[in-house]
Protein backbone atom coordinates (compact mmCIF):
# COMPACT_ATOMS: atom_id res chain seq x y z
CA UNK A 1 0.00 0.00 0.00
CA UNK A 2 1.02 3.60 -0.52
CA UNK A 3 2.51 5.39 2.49
CA UNK A 4 2.41 8.89 3.95
CA UNK A 5 0.10 10.34 1.35
CA UNK A 6 2.52 9.88 -1.55
CA UNK A 7 1.03 9.17 -4.92
CA UNK A 8 0.77 5.62 -6.21
CA UNK A 9 -1.36 4.74 -9.20
CA UNK A 10 -1.92 1.09 -10.10
CA UNK A 11 -3.50 -0.26 -13.24
CA UNK A 12 -2.07 2.46 -15.48
CA UNK A 13 1.06 4.55 -15.83
CA UNK A 14 -0.64 7.54 -17.41
CA UNK A 15 -1.57 9.28 -14.17
CA UNK A 16 2.04 9.86 -13.18
CA UNK A 17 4.18 9.46 -16.30
CA UNK A 18 3.13 11.23 -19.47
CA UNK A 19 4.88 8.54 -21.47
CA UNK A 20 4.27 5.55 -23.68
CA UNK A 21 5.12 2.38 -21.77
CA UNK A 22 5.79 -1.03 -23.31
CA UNK A 23 3.81 -4.12 -22.44
CA UNK A 24 5.61 -6.22 -19.83
CA UNK A 25 7.19 -9.49 -20.88
CA UNK A 26 4.71 -11.75 -19.05
CA UNK A 27 4.98 -9.41 -16.06
CA UNK A 28 6.72 -11.96 -13.86
CA UNK A 29 8.86 -15.06 -14.03
CA UNK A 30 7.04 -18.32 -14.70
CA UNK A 31 8.83 -20.20 -11.92
CA UNK A 32 10.56 -19.10 -8.75
CA UNK A 33 14.32 -18.93 -9.33
CA UNK A 34 16.67 -21.56 -8.06
CA UNK A 35 19.71 -20.85 -5.95
CA UNK A 36 20.38 -20.40 -2.30
CA UNK A 37 20.61 -17.14 -0.35
CA UNK A 38 23.65 -15.90 1.44
CA UNK A 39 24.52 -18.55 3.94
CA UNK A 40 27.22 -20.86 5.21
CA UNK A 41 30.35 -18.79 5.67
CA UNK A 42 30.06 -16.02 8.28
CA UNK A 43 32.14 -13.90 5.95
CA UNK A 44 29.50 -13.78 3.23
CA UNK A 45 28.92 -10.11 2.65
CA UNK A 46 27.00 -7.59 0.62
CA UNK A 47 28.34 -8.63 -2.77
CA UNK A 48 25.74 -11.38 -2.78
CA UNK A 49 28.40 -14.08 -2.88
CA UNK A 50 30.16 -14.96 -6.11
CA UNK A 51 29.87 -18.49 -7.35
CA UNK A 52 33.02 -20.58 -7.40
CA UNK A 53 35.39 -20.16 -10.30
CA UNK A 54 35.09 -23.59 -11.86
CA UNK A 55 38.34 -23.19 -13.76
CA UNK A 56 40.22 -23.21 -10.45
CA UNK A 57 38.23 -26.04 -8.91
CA UNK A 58 39.94 -29.07 -10.40
CA UNK A 59 42.10 -31.15 -8.12
CA UNK A 60 40.13 -30.42 -4.94
CA UNK A 61 37.69 -32.67 -3.22
CA UNK A 62 35.88 -29.92 -1.34
CA UNK A 63 37.54 -29.42 2.02
CA UNK A 64 39.95 -32.31 1.57
CA UNK A 65 42.96 -30.02 1.19
CA UNK A 66 42.06 -27.98 4.26
CA UNK A 67 43.25 -28.81 7.75
CA UNK A 68 42.75 -26.88 10.96
CA UNK A 69 45.76 -25.04 12.36
CA UNK A 70 43.87 -23.28 15.12
CA UNK A 71 40.44 -21.82 15.72
CA UNK A 72 40.68 -19.14 13.01
CA UNK A 73 43.39 -20.38 10.63
CA UNK A 74 43.05 -22.79 7.73
CA UNK A 75 45.92 -24.22 5.74
CA UNK A 76 45.99 -25.85 2.34
CA UNK A 77 48.58 -27.12 -0.10
CA UNK A 78 48.19 -26.05 -3.71
CA UNK A 79 47.63 -29.06 -6.00
CA UNK A 80 49.44 -29.49 -9.30
CA UNK A 81 46.26 -28.62 -11.21
CA UNK A 82 46.20 -25.13 -9.66
CA UNK A 83 49.80 -24.23 -10.49
CA UNK A 84 50.02 -20.71 -11.92
CA UNK A 85 46.51 -19.66 -10.94
CA UNK A 86 45.49 -16.56 -9.00
CA UNK A 87 45.64 -16.86 -5.22
CA UNK A 88 42.06 -15.65 -4.72
CA UNK A 89 40.75 -18.20 -7.23
CA UNK A 90 42.61 -21.06 -5.60
CA UNK A 91 41.44 -20.13 -2.10
CA UNK A 92 37.85 -19.81 -3.26
CA UNK A 93 38.00 -23.20 -4.98
CA UNK A 94 39.10 -24.80 -1.71
CA UNK A 95 36.92 -22.66 0.60
CA UNK A 96 33.73 -22.33 -1.40
CA UNK A 97 31.71 -21.55 1.71
CA UNK A 98 33.41 -18.13 1.75
CA UNK A 99 32.80 -15.59 -0.99
CA UNK A 100 35.69 -14.73 -3.28
CA UNK A 101 35.13 -11.07 -2.42
CA UNK A 102 35.70 -11.80 1.28
CA UNK A 103 38.82 -13.83 0.55
CA UNK A 104 40.19 -10.94 -1.53
CA UNK A 105 39.61 -8.67 1.47
CA UNK A 106 41.57 -11.06 3.71
CA UNK A 107 44.46 -11.18 1.24
CA UNK A 108 44.63 -7.39 0.98
CA UNK A 109 44.47 -7.11 4.79
CA UNK A 110 47.56 -9.32 5.20
CA UNK A 111 45.67 -12.29 6.60
CA UNK A 112 47.04 -14.82 4.08
CA UNK A 113 50.54 -16.30 4.08
CA UNK A 114 52.19 -18.33 1.33
CA UNK A 115 55.01 -20.51 2.65
CA UNK A 116 55.11 -18.30 5.74
CA UNK A 117 55.32 -14.95 3.90
CA UNK A 118 52.42 -12.50 3.85
CA UNK A 119 50.96 -11.96 0.37
CA UNK A 120 48.64 -9.00 -0.20
CA UNK A 121 47.87 -9.31 -3.92
CA UNK A 122 44.76 -11.37 -4.81
CA UNK A 123 46.26 -11.85 -8.30
CA UNK A 124 49.45 -13.45 -6.90
CA UNK A 125 50.23 -16.59 -8.92
CA UNK A 126 50.62 -19.68 -6.75
CA UNK A 127 52.87 -22.68 -7.40
CA UNK A 128 52.15 -26.35 -6.96
CA UNK A 129 52.70 -27.50 -3.35
CA UNK A 130 52.72 -23.94 -1.98
CA UNK A 131 51.34 -23.86 1.56
CA UNK A 132 48.68 -21.21 2.12
CA UNK A 133 47.58 -20.23 5.64
CA UNK A 134 44.37 -18.20 5.83
CA UNK A 135 43.37 -16.37 9.01
CA UNK A 136 39.58 -16.14 9.01
CA UNK A 137 38.69 -12.87 10.68
CA UNK A 138 36.10 -10.13 10.25
CA UNK A 139 36.79 -7.33 7.79
CA UNK A 140 35.03 -3.96 7.70
CA UNK A 141 33.21 -5.15 4.58
CA UNK A 142 32.03 -8.43 6.10
CA UNK A 143 30.87 -6.67 9.27
CA UNK A 144 28.90 -4.16 7.21
CA UNK A 145 26.17 -6.74 6.57
CA UNK A 146 24.51 -5.90 9.90
CA UNK A 147 21.08 -4.63 10.87
CA UNK A 148 20.59 -1.04 11.99
CA UNK A 149 17.26 0.34 13.13
CA UNK A 150 17.13 3.57 11.15
CA UNK A 151 13.91 5.17 9.95
CA UNK A 152 12.88 4.30 6.40
CA UNK A 153 10.70 6.72 4.45
CA UNK A 154 8.40 4.16 2.83
CA UNK A 155 6.28 5.26 -0.11
CA UNK A 156 4.82 1.80 -0.79
CA UNK A 157 4.98 -1.61 0.83
CA UNK A 158 3.65 -5.08 0.15
CA UNK A 159 4.92 -8.59 0.88
CA UNK A 160 7.08 -8.62 -2.25
CA UNK A 161 8.65 -5.17 -2.46
CA UNK A 162 9.21 -1.75 -0.95
CA UNK A 163 9.39 1.64 -2.61
CA UNK A 164 11.65 3.89 -0.54
CA UNK A 165 12.31 7.63 -0.62
CA UNK A 166 16.06 7.96 -0.07
CA UNK A 167 17.07 11.37 1.27
CA UNK A 168 20.17 13.16 0.04
CA UNK A 169 23.28 12.26 2.04
CA UNK A 170 22.35 8.61 2.62
CA UNK A 171 24.71 6.02 1.13
CA UNK A 172 22.94 3.04 -0.45
CA UNK A 173 25.58 0.28 -0.04
CA UNK A 174 28.39 -0.07 2.51
CA UNK A 175 31.69 1.06 0.99
CA UNK A 176 35.04 2.40 2.18
CA UNK A 177 34.33 5.23 4.61
CA UNK A 178 30.70 4.13 4.98
CA UNK A 179 30.69 0.60 6.39
CA UNK A 180 27.59 1.40 8.44
CA UNK A 181 24.67 3.80 8.48
CA UNK A 182 23.60 2.91 4.94
CA UNK A 183 20.25 2.18 3.35
CA UNK A 184 21.22 -1.48 3.20
CA UNK A 185 21.80 -1.56 6.97
CA UNK A 186 18.40 0.05 7.52
CA UNK A 187 16.69 -2.52 5.27
CA UNK A 188 18.28 -5.32 7.30
CA UNK A 189 16.94 -3.71 10.46
CA UNK A 190 13.46 -3.29 9.00
CA UNK A 191 12.93 -6.88 7.85
CA UNK A 192 15.14 -9.80 8.85
CA UNK A 193 14.22 -11.56 5.59
CA UNK A 194 16.55 -9.11 3.87
CA UNK A 195 19.47 -11.17 5.21
CA UNK A 196 18.43 -13.90 2.76
CA UNK A 197 18.86 -11.59 -0.24
CA UNK A 198 21.96 -10.31 -2.02
CA UNK A 199 22.45 -6.64 -1.11
CA UNK A 200 19.35 -6.88 1.13
CA UNK A 201 17.11 -6.73 -1.95
CA UNK A 202 18.56 -3.56 -3.49
CA UNK A 203 18.27 -3.77 -7.29
CA UNK A 204 19.42 -0.28 -8.33
CA UNK A 205 21.19 2.67 -6.73
CA UNK A 206 21.11 6.40 -6.24
CA UNK A 207 24.28 8.38 -5.59
CA UNK A 208 24.83 9.49 -2.00
CA UNK A 209 23.75 13.09 -2.60
CA UNK A 210 20.90 12.26 -4.99
CA UNK A 211 17.47 12.04 -3.38
CA UNK A 212 14.43 10.16 -4.56
CA UNK A 213 12.63 6.90 -5.24
CA UNK A 214 14.07 3.39 -5.17
CA UNK A 215 12.37 0.00 -5.47
CA UNK A 216 13.68 -2.77 -3.19
CA UNK A 217 12.79 -6.47 -3.37
CA UNK A 218 11.68 -8.43 -0.32
CA UNK A 219 11.87 -11.93 -1.82
CA UNK A 220 14.39 -13.63 -4.10
CA UNK A 221 11.67 -14.24 -6.70
CA UNK A 222 10.75 -10.54 -6.78
CA UNK A 223 14.42 -9.55 -6.82
CA UNK A 224 15.26 -11.69 -9.84
CA UNK A 225 12.19 -10.40 -11.69
CA UNK A 226 13.06 -6.76 -10.94
CA UNK A 227 16.69 -7.23 -11.97
CA UNK A 228 15.47 -8.71 -15.26
CA UNK A 229 13.00 -5.84 -15.74
CA UNK A 230 15.76 -3.28 -15.23
CA UNK A 231 18.05 -5.10 -17.66
CA UNK A 232 15.24 -5.12 -20.24
CA UNK A 233 14.50 -1.42 -19.60
CA UNK A 234 11.03 -2.07 -18.21
CA UNK A 235 11.62 -0.04 -15.04
CA UNK A 236 11.10 3.64 -15.84
CA UNK A 237 12.93 6.29 -13.83
CA UNK A 238 12.64 10.04 -14.14
CA UNK A 239 14.64 12.76 -12.41
CA UNK A 240 14.40 16.50 -11.97
CA UNK A 241 17.67 18.44 -12.08
CA UNK A 242 18.97 22.00 -11.82
CA UNK A 243 21.93 22.74 -14.06
CA UNK A 244 24.23 25.64 -14.82
CA UNK A 245 23.84 27.56 -18.07
CA UNK A 246 20.81 28.90 -19.89
CA UNK A 247 19.23 26.25 -22.11
CA UNK A 248 19.40 26.96 -25.83
CA UNK A 249 18.16 25.04 -28.84
CA UNK A 250 15.36 22.44 -28.93
CA UNK A 251 13.64 21.76 -25.62
CA UNK A 252 14.04 18.01 -26.09
CA UNK A 253 17.30 16.23 -26.48
CA UNK A 254 18.54 12.66 -26.31
CA UNK A 255 22.13 12.12 -25.24
CA UNK A 256 23.37 8.81 -26.63
CA UNK A 257 26.98 8.59 -25.48
CA UNK A 258 28.92 5.71 -23.95
CA UNK A 259 30.16 6.09 -20.38
CA UNK A 260 33.16 4.56 -18.64
CA UNK A 261 35.79 5.29 -16.02
CA UNK A 262 37.58 8.58 -16.65
CA UNK A 263 41.15 7.58 -17.61
CA UNK A 264 42.52 10.75 -15.99
CA UNK A 265 40.49 10.76 -12.75
CA UNK A 266 39.66 7.47 -11.02
CA UNK A 267 36.72 8.92 -9.06
CA UNK A 268 34.96 10.23 -12.15
CA UNK A 269 33.08 8.69 -15.01
CA UNK A 270 33.29 10.21 -18.48
CA UNK A 271 31.83 10.09 -21.97
CA UNK A 272 34.12 7.77 -23.95
CA UNK A 273 34.41 6.47 -27.46
CA UNK A 274 32.03 3.51 -27.63
CA UNK A 275 34.84 1.27 -28.88
CA UNK A 276 37.10 2.02 -25.93
CA UNK A 277 37.53 -0.86 -23.43
CA UNK A 278 35.22 -0.34 -20.46
CA UNK A 279 32.84 2.01 -22.30
CA UNK A 280 29.18 1.05 -21.89
CA UNK A 281 26.22 2.34 -23.94
CA UNK A 282 24.18 5.03 -22.17
CA UNK A 283 21.09 6.96 -23.24
CA UNK A 284 19.36 9.82 -21.42
CA UNK A 285 16.34 11.81 -22.62
CA UNK A 286 16.40 15.44 -21.46
CA UNK A 287 13.53 17.95 -21.57
CA UNK A 288 14.10 21.58 -20.61
CA UNK A 289 11.27 22.68 -18.33
CA UNK A 290 12.48 26.23 -17.77
CA UNK A 291 15.53 28.44 -18.17
CA UNK A 292 16.99 31.70 -16.88
CA UNK A 293 20.39 33.30 -17.33
CA UNK A 294 21.86 31.43 -14.35
CA UNK A 295 20.75 27.98 -15.37
CA UNK A 296 17.96 25.61 -16.29
CA UNK A 297 15.52 23.10 -14.85
CA UNK A 298 15.41 19.81 -16.75
CA UNK A 299 13.63 16.47 -16.56
CA UNK A 300 15.77 13.44 -17.34
CA UNK A 301 14.60 9.95 -18.26
CA UNK A 302 17.08 7.09 -18.02
CA UNK A 303 17.15 4.36 -20.63
CA UNK A 304 20.24 2.80 -19.08
CA UNK A 305 21.60 2.93 -15.55
CA UNK A 306 25.29 3.75 -15.73
CA UNK A 307 27.19 5.16 -12.76
CA UNK A 308 26.67 8.95 -12.55
CA UNK A 309 24.85 8.79 -15.90
CA UNK A 310 22.77 11.98 -15.68
CA UNK A 311 25.62 13.92 -14.09
CA UNK A 312 28.06 12.85 -16.82
CA UNK A 313 25.65 13.41 -19.72
CA UNK A 314 24.56 16.84 -18.49
CA UNK A 315 28.17 17.94 -18.01
CA UNK A 316 29.04 16.62 -21.47
CA UNK A 317 26.53 18.98 -23.13
CA UNK A 318 27.74 22.01 -21.18
CA UNK A 319 25.21 21.93 -18.33
CA UNK A 320 26.86 20.49 -15.20
CA UNK A 321 24.46 20.04 -12.31
CA UNK A 322 24.37 22.71 -9.64
CA UNK A 323 26.70 21.86 -6.72
CA UNK A 324 28.13 18.81 -8.49
CA UNK A 325 31.79 19.62 -7.95
CA UNK A 326 32.98 16.27 -9.31
CA UNK A 327 31.74 17.25 -12.76
CA UNK A 328 32.36 20.99 -12.69
CA UNK A 329 29.12 22.25 -11.17
CA UNK A 330 29.62 25.03 -8.61
CA UNK A 331 27.25 25.54 -5.65
CA UNK A 332 24.50 28.07 -6.41
CA UNK A 333 21.08 29.24 -5.24
CA UNK A 334 21.66 27.77 -1.79
CA UNK A 335 22.31 24.23 -3.11
CA UNK A 336 25.21 22.48 -1.42
CA UNK A 337 24.60 19.00 -2.85
CA UNK A 338 24.12 17.95 -6.46
CA UNK A 339 20.70 19.19 -7.60
CA UNK A 340 19.25 15.86 -8.68
CA UNK A 341 16.07 14.17 -7.46
CA UNK A 342 14.43 10.92 -8.64
CA UNK A 343 10.79 11.95 -8.38
CA UNK A 344 9.07 9.39 -10.64
CA UNK A 345 9.29 5.62 -10.81
CA UNK A 346 7.11 3.16 -12.74
CA UNK A 347 7.22 -0.58 -13.35
CA UNK A 348 5.00 -3.64 -13.54
CA UNK A 349 4.68 -5.52 -10.26
CA UNK A 350 7.10 -8.47 -10.40
CA UNK A 351 4.48 -10.92 -9.12
CA UNK A 352 1.06 -9.65 -10.23
CA UNK A 353 2.18 -7.70 -13.36
CA UNK A 354 0.00 -4.79 -12.21
CA UNK A 355 1.38 -1.46 -13.48
CA UNK A 356 2.59 0.70 -10.59
CA UNK A 357 3.67 4.33 -10.80
CA UNK A 358 4.96 6.56 -8.01
CA UNK A 359 5.51 10.30 -7.75
CA UNK A 360 6.92 12.24 -4.80
CA UNK A 361 7.30 16.01 -4.30
CA UNK A 362 10.52 17.82 -5.07
CA UNK A 363 12.83 18.37 -2.09
CA UNK A 364 12.76 21.72 -0.33
CA UNK A 365 16.36 22.62 -1.17
CA UNK A 366 15.62 22.36 -4.89
CA UNK A 367 12.29 24.17 -4.59
CA UNK A 368 14.07 26.97 -2.73
CA UNK A 369 16.79 27.15 -5.40
CA UNK A 370 14.16 27.47 -8.14
CA UNK A 371 12.58 30.34 -6.19
CA UNK A 372 15.93 32.09 -5.69
CA UNK A 373 16.59 31.97 -9.43
CA UNK A 374 13.04 33.10 -10.20
CA UNK A 375 12.89 30.23 -12.66
CA UNK A 376 9.52 29.73 -14.38
CA UNK A 377 8.88 26.18 -15.58
CA UNK A 378 6.33 23.88 -17.20
CA UNK A 379 6.50 20.24 -16.16
CA UNK A 380 3.60 19.08 -18.34
CA UNK A 381 5.62 18.29 -21.45
CA UNK A 382 5.25 14.69 -22.58
CA UNK A 383 8.24 12.45 -23.10
CA UNK A 384 7.46 9.74 -25.62
CA UNK A 385 9.90 7.01 -26.45
| CATH number of the domain to which 78 belongs | 3.10.290.10
Q: Is residue 351 part of a domain?
A: yes
pLDDT at 96: 78
Clarify whether residues 135 and 156 are in a common domain. Answer: no
* Radius of gyration of the chain from its Cα atoms, rounded to whole angstroms: 24
- Same domain? For 287 and 302 the reply is yes
Give the C-alpha separation, 41 to 38, whole Å: 8
**Domain CATH code at residue 297:** 3.30.2350.10
Strands (E), 234-292: 236-244, 252-256, 259-261, 269-271, 283-291
Could you tell me if 127 and 154 lie in one domain?
Answer: no
Query: Which residue, of 120, 142, 164, is where some domain finishes?
Result: 142
Confidence (pLDDT) at 187: 97
What pLDDT is recorded for position 9? 61
38 belongs to a structural domain: no
Same domain, 205 and 269: yes
Residue 251 DSSP symbol = S
Strand 131-135 and strand 161-166: the pairing is unpaired
Say yes or no: 17 and 87 in one domain.
no
User: Rounded to 10 degrees, what is the CA torsion of 248, 249, 252, 258?
Assistant: -90
Asked if residues 363 and 11 have their Cβ atoms less than 8 Å apart, the reply is: no
Domain shared by 68 and 174, yes or no: no
Q: Residue 146: how many CA atoms within 13 Å on its side-chain side?
A: 12
CA–CA distance, 355 with 346 (Å, rounded to integer)? 7
Helices (H) and strands (E) in the chain, counts: 7, 17
Domain housing 112: 54-142
Q: 173 and 295: one domain?
A: yes
Segment-wise mean pLDDT, segments of 10 residues, the chain, 385 residues = 64 46 33 30 31 30 35 86 95 85 91 96 96 87 80 97 98 83 95 91 96 97 96 96 98 98 94 95 97 98 95 98 98 98 98 97 97 92 40
Residue 71, pLDDT score: 44
Same structural domain, 293 and 356: yes
Give the number of other CB atoms < 10 A from CB of residue 224.
19
In DSSP terms, 302 is beta-bridged to 237, 284
In which order are the strands placed within the sheet that holds 112-114?
Answer: 66-68, 73-77, 131-135, 112-114, 117-118
Terminal alpha carbon distance of the chain: 29
Catalogue the active-site residues: 207
Tell whether 230 and 178 lie within a shared domain.
Answer: yes
What is the per-residue pLDDT for 4? 60
Q: Give the torsion through C-alpha atoms of 221, 227, 230, 234, to 10 deg.
A: -20
Q: Are residues 84 and 20 in the same domain?
A: no
Cα–Cα distance, 8 to 20 (Å, whole number): 18
Give yes or no: residues 208 and 60 share one domain: no
Instruction: Report d(CA 1, CA 80) in Å as an integer.
Output: 58
Distance from C-alpha of 16 to C-alpha of 360, rounded to nearest angstrom? 10
The predicted model scores a pTM of: 0.70
Phi then psi for residue 118, to 5 deg, are -65, 135
List all residues 6 or more positions away from 224 whose beta carbon is below 8 Å from its beta carbon: 29, 33
Amino acid sequence: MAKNGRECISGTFSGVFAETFPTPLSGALSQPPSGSPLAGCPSRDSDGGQGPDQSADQGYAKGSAISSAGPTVRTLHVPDTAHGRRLDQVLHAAMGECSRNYLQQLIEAGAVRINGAIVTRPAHKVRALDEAAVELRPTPQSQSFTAEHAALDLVYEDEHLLVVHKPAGWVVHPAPGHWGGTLMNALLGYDERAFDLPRAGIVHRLDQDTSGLMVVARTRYAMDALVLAIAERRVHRQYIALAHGAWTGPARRRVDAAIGRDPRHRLRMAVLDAKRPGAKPAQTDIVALGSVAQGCLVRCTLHTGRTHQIRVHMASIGHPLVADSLYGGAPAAGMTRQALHADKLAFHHPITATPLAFHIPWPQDMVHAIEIWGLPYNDSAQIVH
